Structures are given as structure tokens and as C-alpha cells.
Homo-oligomer: A and B are copies of this chain.
Amino acid sequence: MQIVVNGLGEMGASLALAIKNANTNVEIIGVDRNQAALDQAAAMGLTTQTTTDLMTVAAQADVIILATPIRAIIATLRDLAQVPLKEGVLVTDTGSTKVQVMAAAQGLIKRQIAFVGGHAMAGTQKAGIHALDAHLYDGAPYFLVGDDVAAQRRLRTLLAGVGVQLIPMPAEQHDQMMAYLSDLPHVVSAALVNSTRQTAAQYPELPRYAAGGFKDTTRIGGADPQMWTDILTTNRAATLAALHSYQDSLAQLVTALEQDDPQQIYDFFAASRQLRQKFEEEMG
């Protein structure tokens, strides 16, 4: 089986390796705009063929996995809808938002090409093929999106040995959940970092006195700007709804403190503690 993996970054290369390790008779064709990544993939025996141009190998693929940044996934889905593909090809992606991906896949779907939207809750702060990890996906939730049940069954078979938890989910629910679990925390953390700029300039020793709370809440404020710009702009409505909900919640506390109302302040923190403790019990 020839599997074309478009994008040999941390997510794509690690998924390719995990699929290769879990299946016999799989050949990986690596596609990346970065020749050095292709050379490294070939040198380690991950790929049997490499190219910088997906369109030169798309027609020979039994499976196409789109693992580039999300905006490139959307553009590629539209391009693929215009070119000849092998009979019975399965197309899937690894993008972090799914409503726009499913919309972009409609051209393929109208041609009766099997498509499954995919997204794994895996990945680190690292990037690129240097972050390759055969165990990156171990135990990770892996969402399957779309109406093509037969296509989902084929992807399940391919991923059976990878060790992910496969979870079918509507695109809208996926994106709304990600808005709260992922998009909102990244904005909140980055805004926290940005808001300290003036005080950190006034007191350059500030970071030396940071304790665990500041370190933890600002950590993902250091995430990749291009990646998060793409994720937010492709999940705009759900992220804006989450941000407005967050602004309302924050404003409650600000008003309570402006009014010096200890009962309202207590209730705000008590509600948070109660809900966070419930989350703690339920989080993996």
C-alpha cells in the first residue's frame, strides 16, 4: 500500500512512522517543501520515495495524509479535487480545526472520493522532522470527522496498531470543543504574557521571582505564532464565541473587585475551584 504523507513535520513524520511500524506492506512517499526534511526521512528509511510536489505522486497513492499547517491543508484539498486520483484512494488530514477542512473536502467528496477529517490530541512545543517520535500518538484521542462510514472504517484499520483512541465526532462539536480546550487557553496565555510587558520593563528582575503559577499559565504563550494564527482564523466563529464567554467571565471578577465585593470575588474563585476539581477527576 502506497501512503503519501504531505508534510513531514512532527505530526506527519511521527504518524508516518507509527503507521509503518504498525502495518506490513506499507510504503511511505514523503512530500515536503523542505528538501532537508525529505533527505532525512529517506536517510532513516522512513520513505521509499520523496518529492517537493504532491501533484507528481498524488495519482499513485492508495492513501493520502495531509499533515501540513491547516491553511495549506485547505488549499491542497481544493487542488486535489481537480486532479486524477487512483480508484479507491482514501484521503485524510491531521488539521486542528475541522469545519473549514470538511467544507474544502466537498470537491473530493462530490467525486465519490473517500475522505475522513482527522485530528489527534498529540504534539509538543517542538516542530519539524527533528521532533519525530514513534510514540507521539500513543493513547492520544484521535477525532474522526465526516459522514463517510466506510472511509472511517478503512482509516480505523490503518490506525488499529498505532494505539490512538479513535473518536467519531461532528465537525461543529470538534471545533467548539477545541475553541475551549486549545484556542482559548493559547490566547489567554499569550495575552497574559503581553500584559506584563510594561511592568517587566519597569522591573527587569520580575521573571526571576516567577513561581509555578506564572510559569504554568504563561507556558503556551510561547507557542508558534503562524500555527496559532492559522488555527484561530480557520476556527474563527467558535473561538470568538469562547473569547466572548471568557471576557464576560473575567469582567465579573473585575467588577466585583472594582466594587470591593468580597462575596462576589469568593463566589468567582469557589465556582472555579469546584469545576476545576471536577475536571481534574475526569481529565486523562
Binding site for B on A (CB under 8 A): 121, 141, 173, 176-177, 179-182, 184-200, 203, 206-211, 213-226, 228-229, 232-233, 236, 239-240, 242-254, 257-258, 260, 262, 265-273, 275-280, 282-284
Query: Which chain B residue has the least Cβ–Cβ distance from A217?
Result: B185
A168 nearest CB across to chain B (Å): 12
Residues of B within 8 A of A217 (CB): 185, 188-189, 216-217, 219-220
Taking CB atoms, residues of chain B closer than 8 Å to A245 are: 195, 198-199
- Asked if B225 contacts A191 (CB within 8 A), the reply is no
Sample 5 A-B pairs with CB under 8 A, ordered by A number.
A180-B214, A186-B213, A189-B217, A224-B269, A229-B266
A172 nearest CB across to chain B (Å): 11
| Minimum C-beta distance from A277 to chain B (A) | 6
> With A219-B216, A283-B215 given, is the CB distance from A229 to B269 under 8 Å?
yes
Please pick, from B181, B189, B190, B275, the residue contacting A193 in the complex, using a CB distance under 8 A.
Answer: B275
